[in-house]
Structure 1
């Protein structure tokens, strides 16, 4: 009994930490500035139609939920961080989208089994620490024959490599937590879902990001706005040498992946996995 209580308390503490991490900085601007089209790509890949019951898990500010609502679906956007949901409500209002926003943990979704025709997540559920638990929840709330769609950064893509660069500077992850970019490995996702899905498609694609003038500008943008990066810097705040080392690592990573000609802005290609399937009957 004591072990179960300790585990539950540790999980609550971890979720509190995650909630705070995504609330700091300015993730809404990251989503809007750098990846505004990814949600629409996922919604289109899932074949969302008017009247469909759609759940966007780890929805953030609605990068996928809002396009789904504009396509005529009956949408619920669920996220662990209420600050992101509040921004999403405002953005939805500006675009004339009507949907429901609900605070929810991707690993313990407060919805009935088989409640949705489509369950999707755009670079969201990948950050839930316990992948099997999150995958089980995605399938549980999706009706038999319904669609599951997940868009995730790949381990070998730019964001996957950035997260790997930051890992040595961060505190050790709690027991059982898995690296987010594993959701970008199709074999990992197939293992999580197993024979509970059919009609699987897994396609690697890239999004081009060219808003940064220099590698240092990229680094500083993420230091100021992206919750995971901010958290890592906070963990080494008392160590100037490690801060300088991480500064150099992130700038070097951006410079090495520049696909441009060397004149003007950086041109970065961020690889992601677009995974869709149907829940087996």
Structure 2
């Protein structure tokens, strides 16, 4: 566990170490999560897998009372520096998503973006999220989905016996997720999925072409959006504690 923590520290240094701490950057998956979010004003919010803090700072700017955790001490140090520069109050702390240091029934809303696939035991993490949610509290979670052409990258990496790179450098843990098995994990944790959306539909990958060449980010047609959402690379779930 300690070894993986040091690896994640090095990953954050490599990916985020040269970022401008005066800028707050939201990724597409953050925007997907916000599209399913209730009004944040005065909600007690927990972000899990907060990284260097951009999303947590944004949430606090919307009036939420935000606690944000990450496995990496380096990430939390960077996040605290950003929040101080932005003069925004966020309670950042180092924590393991599989053993959250909070009492049961604490938070109105939990957000977790692109984190679940990187924890050793994803089911344990979802169980913990359910535990610390208040009754009828909401969880908005985004994660990778490989029931699309990205599957070809997995196969190529497996054949070449090389670690899979999902986008920004190889991570020490990168689970292979499909829409259906993630939804089963929600149900097993006692979380009822209310809504689901998806973005970044990768239909084909060809040699010497950038992976974004044959992509539809979002379908404008509601029927197509509903039909193809289980095949989107970035899945976003809104779930409620049963």
What TM-score comes out, normalization by structure 1 length? 0.63
Structure 1 distance, partners of 2:56, 2:201, is 19
- In the other structure, the counterpart of 1:223 is none
For the residue of structure 2 that corresponds to 1:255, the secondary structure is coil
Deviations 1:129-149 (A, max 9, x none): 211111111111111100011
- In the other structure, the counterpart of 1:147 is 138
Q: Does 1:190 align with 2:183?
A: yes
- In the other structure, the counterpart of 2:196 is 202
Moved more, 16-25 or 64-73: 16-25
The RMSD of aligned alpha carbons is 3.5
**Residue ranges of structure 1 left out of the alignment (5+ in a row):** 1-11, 172-176, 209-250, 261-266
Would the aligned equivalents of 2:186 and 2:192 in 1 still touch at CA under 8 Å? no
- In the other structure, the counterpart of 1:110 is 101
Q: Does 1:131 align with 2:148?
A: no
Aligned pairs for 1:34-49 (under 5 A) are 36-49=27-40
Aligned pairs for 1:1-281 (under 5 A) are 12-13=1-2, 15-16=4-5, 18-27=7-16, 36-156=27-147, 162=153, 165-166=156-157, 168-170=161-163, 179-182=174-177, 185-194=178-187, 196-206=190-200, 255=209, 257-259=211-213, 271-280=233-242
Determine which structure has the larger helix proportion and give its number.
Answer: 1
Structure 2 distance, partners of 1:25, 1:268, is 29
- 1:120 is displaced (CA, Å) by 1.3
Sort the Cα spacing of 1:138 and 1:18 in 2 relative to 1 into closer, same or farther, 3 A: farther
**Residue ranges of structure 2 left out of the alignment (5+ in a row):** 165-171, 218-231
Sort the Cα spacing of 1:198 and 1:16 in 2 relative to 1 into closer, same or farther, 3 A: closer
Would the aligned equivalents of 2:5 and 2:72 in 1 still touch at CA under 8 Å? no
Moved more, 144-153 or 13-22: 13-22
For the residue of structure 1 that corresponds to 2:200, the secondary structure is strand
What TM-score comes out, normalization by structure 2 length? 0.72
Sort the Cα spacing of 1:160 and 1:104 in 2 relative to 1 into closer, same or farther, 3 A: farther
Would the aligned equivalents of 1:153 and 1:159 in 2 still touch at CA under 8 Å? no
